[in-house]
Amino acid sequence: MIEPVVLLTFVPAALALNLTPGADMMFCLGQGLRGGPRAALAADAGIALGAMVQVALAGLGLGALVSAHPVLFDAVRWAGVAYLMWLAWGALRRSGLPQVPPVSPSRAFRQGVLVNLSNPKVILFVLAFIPQFVDPARAILPQFLLFGAILGLGGLLVNGAVGLAAGHLAGRLSGSARFAAVLGRVSAVIFTGLALRLALIHR
């Protein structure tokens, strides 16, 4: 369905984007530190699922609706900011506990999905990037889904590797009460940084 030359052009561009540190990578890093390798991979899978949903929405044309209506865009954006700040507050509050409970894989997965879906910038990025490689003479949605799957797979591998590295580091230091306290504060800083980044984006 897609010309091999187009795929050979798209894959390196997608990989370069995946390797650029961003919100998804930082979220997987934070979840790996908080919950270990399993939580990192679960968060990575949640982000990938959320991204595929956004790709499908862009392919169906709903992304244009978000782009054309600032009120809708801002509503989704500020909901995401509020959710990230809630995660930051929870991490900071738990940093004062003598034994910080690790985030479970199922919770990390749900948070990954919500963090991705509450970032309207993702769907606008998809609308700006993927159409450059889409052939308008062919069915649009299948092309969007295929390109999105390639982009998502790259993100799954790169973000998963970052999260696993953070998770293994956290596993080695998990017995330290001081590390647990610092971990809560670092997680709070990561979530707050993601919230600020989302709050300051422009359409």
Would 53 be classed as within a structural domain?
A: yes
- Domain span including residue 134: 23-200
By the 8 A CB rule, do 54 and 124 touch? no
Would 17 be classed as within a structural domain?
A: no
Q: Which of 103, 95, 90, 97 is nearest to 184 (CA)?
A: 95
Phi-psi region of 200 (alpha: psi -120 to 50; beta: other; left: phi over 0): alpha
106: tokens are 């199922």
Write the pLDDT tens digit of every residue in 130-182: 888 888 788 888 888 899 999 999 999 999 999 999 888 876 665 555 666 67
Would 185 be classed as within a structural domain?
A: yes
The residue type found at 132 is Q
- Kindly report the pTM of this predicted structure: 0.74
Write the pLDDT tens digit of every residue in 113-144: 998 888 877 877 787 788 888 887 888 888 88
Write the pLDDT tens digit of every residue in 16-54: 888 877 788 888 988 888 888 999 999 999 999 999 998
Report the sign of the C-alpha dihedral through residues 159, 202, 76, 53, in that order: negative
Report the sign of the C-alpha dihedral through residues 165, 47, 174, 21, in that order: positive
Scanning the structure block, which residue is given the tokens 């995660």? 87
Which residues make Cβ contacts (< 8 Å) with residue 168, sequence separation at least 6? 36, 37
Q: Which of 4, 195, 168 is nearest to 81 (CA)?
A: 195
Per-residue confidence (pLDDT) for residue 88, from 0 to 100: 80
Instruction: Compute the distance between CA of residue 133 and CA of residue 13 in angstroms, rounded to an integer.
Output: 11
Number of domains in the chain: 1
Would 156 be classed as within a structural domain?
A: yes
